[in-house]
């Protein structure tokens, strides 16, 4: 049976012939959202575990990056909106059935907590910049106050980080119309990937060898967890209904196979896992930059695959033979 939109045209931009309403802006945003969740999570966790001496960068310097990364992500998210002047409409309502509405409010919660995290560790983390403003009485008071409550702030940060990380996956999984997305495993997958990229970034930037080693170890554990969730996701897809099977074949053997097996699984998970294994045993020190960079690339490629492939998978699929150039010839 062949079903075609033949009689009349349907060439709605970004919907026909294949849906691509969301592009790199959304992939970058989902990646940055996960990364900033990982950053907030580990900066708070290390502070709560009193690892000030073992992991000085994670406790004192990392949180500032979370603000920067999420702000970049929210910028691309804003770029994606096609009716930009009405962006404030996200904040005149709360729609409990819409994960995007939950996300909009989680993003708003992230900022004050991240700012408090930075304030509570700024003197130790960025002594030069803190010294510039610390002589102002109000600033001194703010720093003092934030430092006194730094554990409470870290406790607030943990659930917000987990919420942000998991929401970036739920955002996609709630779309029953897109069979590839429609699995609850995307939530934990994006959370673990976000934590992994956060740990990788910390290992990349931290100066102390012990701190680098700890975060390399954490990242290796998270990569193993991520591989397990990916395996569950594939089992779920490959044993699903017709639209899910179509998504599985595109991912495993179709147009996305190279990106999935070659870049995400091999370059983004397996090779860094091997490198990290050797690094924690003291070998391959001069390659220490490589594993975290690959993890970050893998994390981004996962978001690209998810966003692009998910939109292509559908319940209804017509070949549309309509050619817009024919219309232009009529003029």
Partner 1 sequence: MARYAMVIDTLLCIGCGDCVVACKTENKVPEGLNRDWVVEATRGTYPNLTTEFRSERCNHCSHATCVYMCPTGASHHWKDTNIVLVDPNKCTGCKACIAACPYDARLIMHPGGYIDKCTFCHHRVEKGLDPACVSTCPTHCMYFGLLDDPSSEVSELLRTRNYKVLAPETGNQPNVYYLT
Using CB under 8 A, list all residues that contact partner 1. 1-16, 19, 21-22, 80-84, 86-87, 89-90, 92-93, 95, 97-101, 103-104, 174-178, 241, 310-311, 314-316, 318, 324, 327
Q: Which is nearer to partner 1, 94 or 129 (CB)?
A: 94
For residue 41, CA distances in Å to 36, 119, 163 come to 8, 16, 10
What are residue 200's phi and psi, to 5 degrees?
Answer: -65, -45
What are residue 320's phi and psi, to 5 degrees?
Answer: -110, 115
Q: Which is nearer to partner 1, 109 or 284 (CB)?
A: 109
For residue 21, CA distances in Å to 12, 171, 236, 251 come to 11, 15, 26, 20
Distance in Å, CB of 204 to partner 1, minimum: 32
**Exposed e or buried b per residue across 8-29, where buried means at least 16 C-beta atoms within 10 angstroms of its C-beta:** eeeeeeeebeebeebbebbbbb
Give the list of residues 6+ apart from residue 80 with CB closer than 8 angstroms, or none.
22, 23, 25, 26, 29
Q: Which is nearer to partner 1, 144 or 317 (CB)?
A: 317
Q: Which is nearer to partner 1, 120 or 311 (CB)?
A: 311
Q: Which is nearer to partner 1, 79 or 288 (CB)?
A: 79
Distance in Å, CB of 178 to partner 1, minimum: 6
Distance in Å, CB of 294 to partner 1, minimum: 30
d(CA 54, CA 234): 38
Distance in Å, CB of 229 to partner 1, minimum: 23
Q: Which is nearer to partner 1, 29 or 215 (CB)?
A: 29
122-130: long-range contacts at Cβ-Cβ below 8 A with a sequence spacing of 24 or more? 122/146, 123/147, 124/52, 124/56, 124/59, 124/60, 125/57, 125/59, 125/60, 125/61, 125/63, 125/64, 126/60, 126/61, 126/64
Distance in Å, CB of 233 to partner 1, minimum: 19
Distance in Å, CB of 150 to partner 1, minimum: 33
């Amino acid at each position: 049976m062949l079903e075609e939109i033949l009689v009349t045209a349907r060439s709605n931009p970004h919907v026909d012939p294949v849906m691509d309403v969301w592009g790199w802006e959304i992939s970058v945003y989902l990646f940055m959202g996960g990364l900033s969740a990982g950053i907030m999570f580990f900066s708070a966790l290390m502070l709560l575990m009193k690892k000030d001496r073992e992991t000085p960068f994670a406790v004192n310097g990392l949180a500032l990056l979370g603000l920067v990364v999420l702000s970049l992500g929210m910028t691309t998210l804003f770029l994606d909106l096609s009716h930009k002047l009405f962006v404030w409409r996200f904040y005149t309502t709360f729609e409990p059935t819409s994960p995007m509405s939950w996300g909009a409010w989680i993003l708003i919660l992230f900022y004050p907590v991240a700012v408090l995290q930075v304030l509570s560790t700024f003197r130790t983390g960025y002594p030069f910049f803190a010294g510039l403003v610390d002589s102002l009485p109000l600033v001194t008071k703010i720093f003092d106050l934030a430092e006194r409550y730094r554990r409470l702030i870290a406790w607030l940060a943990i659930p917000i980080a987990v919420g942000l990380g998991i929401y970036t996956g739920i955002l996609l999984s709630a779309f029953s119309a897109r069979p590839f997305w429609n699995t609850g495993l995307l939530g934990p997958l994006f959370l673990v990937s976000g934590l992994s990229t956060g740990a990788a970034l910390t290992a990349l930037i931290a100066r102390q060898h012990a701190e680098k080693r700890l975060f390399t170890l954490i990242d290796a554990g998270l990569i193993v967890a991520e591989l397990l969730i990916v395996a569950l996701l594939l089992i779920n897809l490959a044993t699903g209904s017709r639209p899910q099977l179509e998504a599985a074949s595109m991912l495993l053997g179709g147009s996305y196979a190279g990106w999935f097996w070659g870049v995400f699984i091999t370059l983004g998970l397996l090779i860094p896992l091997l490198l990290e294994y050797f690094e924690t045993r003291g070998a391959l020190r001069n390659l220490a930059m490589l594993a975290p960079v690959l993890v970050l690339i893998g994390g981004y490629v996962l978001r690209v695959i998810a966003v692009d492939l998910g939109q292509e998978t559908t319940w209804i699929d017509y070949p549309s033979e309509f050619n817009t150039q024919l219309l232009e010839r009529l003029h």
